[in-house]
């Protein structure tokens, strides 16, 4: 079980719900070590005293706020907590809003909220936790709250997720840049050279590619490809030889003027061929199971020979 990074309570109205905060993401990133290309030795980064140049251990490092040049106020974790105990130990729900009203651009980092004991000895009742979870689920609302995590105050959304509650950190409005400074096309699609036919074909393509949301089917293929490249380099013994640069134009996708109608037709055709192939393969499998005729290319048909009776004592079956 992961360690909680924060303990406090959810507060809305007069209700207090003891909770613990857990990371809800586990980034699977590639981590590289920086090397000196001349000797392939790792480059080390040290925490050193600027005046003496001596290394400093983590145990000797404290947090300081500069109030004058060269002068600091030292603050410990307990100092920061005492500055505003309520703010540092409470997910304070200010409002409830419709989940659909929050633009996805505001969502930042997710955390799990789990029931927690107030005194660390007893298992706290989960009635209030379940009450909030089900109230949010049935109303379609999310709680907009303020919470302090690691010395910074955040705005967050508290929402139901399966059997639990998730606290999604949100970006403040002032943290988002306006798109007014960008050269973007106007909302009027017809005024930008798009005809009704192009739009209808684009809508049809979107409809044909529409499917249910299954996050598990999307993989980090780039990471897999990089790992395969690393394995090939290890097997070949060329671990220190970087690849030679190639012309960028060779790998860049074509841009510029395009025939939208032609591209949309080709895309729709590919989707139609895939659907037809899937249907044909499905029919072939069904026909193979019961000996029926299965269609082949060119309109011809073939008949699958009946399988020989199963011999006694054989435990294997012929693959259909």
Q: Identify the pLDDT of residue 61.
A: 92
What digits encode the pLDDT tens for the residues 135-183? 999 999 999 999 998 888 899 999 999 999 999 999 999 889 888 888 8
Point out which residues pair with 144 in neighbouring strands. Answer: 95, 157
The residue-averaged pLDDT of 113-133 equals: 74
Supply 238's token pair. Answer: 């060329």
Q: Identify the pLDDT of residue 161.
A: 95
Alpha helices in the chain (DSSP H): 77-83, 85-88, 127-139, 196-209, 221-236, 248-251, 260-290
Going by pLDDT thresholds of 50, 70 and 90, the confidence category of residue 102 is very high
Q: Flag whether pLDDT at 223 surpasses 50.
A: yes
Q: Alpha-carbon distance 111 to 21, whole Å?
A: 6
Q: What is the mean pLDDT of the chain?
A: 78
Q: What are phi and psi of 152, to 5 degrees?
A: -125, 135
Q: Are 21 and 149 in contact (CB under 8 A)?
A: yes
Helix/strand/coil percentages in the chain, nearest 5: 35, 25, 40
Helix axes 260-290, 196-209, angle to 10 degrees: 30
Q: Identify the pLDDT of residue 308.
A: 43
The residue-averaged pLDDT of 69-91 equals: 84
Taking the whole predicted model, whether its pTM rises above 0.75 is answered as no
Quick one: CA torsion of 36, 37, 40, 44, rounded to 10 degrees?
A: 10
Q: Identify the pLDDT of residue 155.
A: 94
Count CB neighbours of 5 within 10 A.
12
């Amino acid at each position: 079980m992961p360690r909680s990074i924060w303990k406090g309570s959810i507060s809305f109205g007069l209700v207090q719900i003891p909770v613990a905060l857990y990371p809800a993401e586990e980034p699977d990133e590639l981590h590289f070590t920086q090397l000196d290309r001349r000797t392939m030795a790792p480059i080390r980064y040290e925490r050193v005293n600027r005046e003496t140049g001596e290394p400093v251990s983590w145990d000797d490092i404290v947090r300081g706020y500069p109030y004058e040049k060269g002068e600091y106020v030292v603050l410990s974790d307990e100092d920061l907590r005492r500055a505003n105990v309520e703010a540092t130990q409470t997910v304070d729900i200010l409002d409830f809003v419709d989940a659909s009203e929050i633009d996805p651009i505001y969502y930042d980092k997710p955390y799990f909220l789990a029931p927690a004991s107030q005194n660390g000895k007893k298992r706290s009742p989960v009635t209030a936790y379940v009450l909030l979870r089900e109230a949010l689920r049935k109303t379609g609302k999310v709680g907009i709250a303020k919470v302090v995590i690691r010395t910074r105050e955040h705005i967050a959304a508290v929402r139901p997720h399966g059997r639990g509650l998730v606290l999604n950190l949100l970006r403040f409005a002032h943290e988002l840049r306006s798109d007014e400074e960008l050269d973007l096309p106007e909302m009027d699609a017809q005024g930008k050279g798009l005809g009704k036919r192009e739009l209808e074909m684009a809508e049809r393509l979107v409809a044909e590619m529409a499917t249910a949301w299954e996050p598990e089917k999307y993989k980090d293929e780039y990471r897999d490809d990089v790992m395969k490249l690393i394995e090939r380099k290890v097997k070949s013994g060329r671990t220190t030889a970087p690849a030679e640069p190639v012309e960028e134009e060779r790998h860049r996708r074509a841009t510029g003027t395009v025939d939208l109608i032609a591209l949309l037709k080709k895309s729709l055709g590919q989707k139609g061929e895939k659907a037809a192939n899937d249907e044909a393969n499905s029919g072939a499998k069904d026909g193979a199971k019961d000996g029926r005729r299965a269609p082949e290319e060119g309109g011809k048909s073939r008949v699958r020979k009946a399988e020989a009776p199963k011999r006694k004592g054989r435990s294997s079956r012929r693959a259909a």
